[in-house]
Amino acid sequence: MTGRVVLCDTWGEIADVAAPLAGLDVTVELQQRVTPGPGIVALLAGPDTRVDAALLAALPDLRIVAATSTGFDHLDVDAIARAGVWATHVAGYCDGEVADHTIAFVIDLLRGVTLLDRSVRSGAWDYAVAQPVRIAGATLGIVGFGRIGRAVAARAVALGMRVGAYDPVLTATTVAEHSVVVHPTLAGLLATSDVVSLHAPLSDATRGLIDADALRVMRPGAFLVNCARAALVDDAALGDALVRGQLGGCALDVLPTEPPGRDEPALTWPRTIINPHAAWASPAAIREPYRRAAIGVAALLRGDEPADVVARPAAS
């Protein structure tokens, strides 16, 4: 029986998935929402497709779930393993793009570029509306020091910034290689940074990591950048800190609901820059996650182990 490979990601193109699967007895389908049933051997799941025990039970022939993103918090990896299914993600395909976007946000906030533009358009002509500060010598605090966090650090160091990092799994070797100051606690990093940038994966341990208590520890007038996951931040607490003037501003590439409704609170926050989840994008990166996910599916269907595994079938 011909197997079915389902792409459930509205940003993807069937052609990018089909090419690596050439020669295999499979068909490729694009679905906005997964239609349960037999015959589906592989599911390429975008960040909006939650793969949990209920969905797995409705896909009896499934062999692999391939996340079409670096983050895989939308996959219940334990349930996938228990179901005897593999899971992969596409690690590193947009590290450079996200690091570049992060640094663009950092520079924008410190120099006041966007806020000054808005002020001029509203009739003002005063640089003190968003007082620019010197980039070299400013301190960037990076929360999460994986591939993207390290790429951001390299760019910041090249600009002459002082860089601190907090990550529970930081090693002395990693720190030495990247010219950063390691902070054993999150509070220590927050209290000493002019800009805090989030690059931690979303998990039960990191959900709401930047809450009201964390925001109170940050320097008065400091900035927050989030190009990772919206749920790392307590949304209400961030809005309150901005309205009260405790923070100097923030730059967000992610929101709790995307695209946001007209009632999204962040759209009314002062001194806030919002992008439409664009940090990952470039002409090269737009196609890469689908091609990479399909390569992993093809490897498994040919009897090989795929790359970038995040869940393996549990032993029966």
Q: How far apart are CA 239 and CA 244, in angstroms?
A: 9
Q: Are residues 263 and 174 in the same domain?
A: yes
Given 229, 271, 291, 292, the catalytic residue: 229
The domain spanning residue 232 has which CATH number? 3.40.50.720
> Cβ of 158: how many Cβ atoms within 10 Å?
9
* Same domain for 115 and 72: no
Conformation bin of residue 258: beta by default, left when phi > 0, alpha when psi is -120 to 50: beta
Task: Assess whether 277 carries a catalytic annotation.
Answer: yes
Q: Which of 82, 277, 287, 312 is catalytic?
A: 277
Structurally, the chain folds into a number of domains equal to: 2
Angle between helices 147-158 and 95-111 (to 10 degrees): 50
Question: Smallest Cα–Cα separation from 12: which of 35, 34, 44?
Answer: 44
pLDDT tens digits, 167-213? 998 776 666 677 899 999 999 999 999 999 999 999 999 999 999 99
Residues 190 and 252 in one domain: yes
pLDDT tens, the chain, 316 aa long: 689 999 999 889 999 999 999 999 999 999 999 998 899 999 999 999 999 999 999 999 999 999 999 989 999 999 999 999 999 999 999 999 999 999 999 999 999 999 999 999 999 999 999 999 999 999 999 999 999 999 999 999 999 999 999 999 877 666 667 789 999 999 999 999 999 999 999 999 999 999 999 999 999 999 999 999 999 999 999 999 999 999 999 999 999 999 999 999 999 999 999 999 999 999 989 999 999 999 999 999 999 999 999 999 986 4
Q: 170 and 146 in one domain?
A: yes
Told to judge if 229 belongs to the known catalytic residues of this protein, a careful annotator would answer yes
DSSP string, 110-175: HHTHHHHHHHHHTT---GGGG----STT-EEEEE--SHHHHHHHHHHHHTT-EEEEE-TT--HHHH
Burial class (CB in 10 A: 0-12, 13-18, 19+), 51: buried
Q: Is residue 189 part of a domain?
A: yes
Q: Choosing from 216, 244, 258, 302, which is the catalytic residue?
A: 258
Backbone torsions φ then ψ of 182, nearest 5 degrees: -85, 135
Distance CA 18, CA 14 (A): 6
Does the active-site annotation cover 258? yes
Q: What is the pLDDT of residues 4-26, one digit of tens each?
A: 999 999 889 999 999 999 999 99
Q: Can you say how many angstroms the Cα of residue 315 is from the centroid of all Cα atoms in its chain?
A: 31
Using only the alpha carbons of the chain, give its radius of gyration: 21
Indicate if 148 and 263 belong to the same structural domain. Answer: yes
Answer yes or no: do 133 and 239 share one domain: yes
Domain that holds residue 76: 3-93+283-311
- On whether both 185 and 300 belong to a single domain, the answer is no
303 is a domain residue = yes
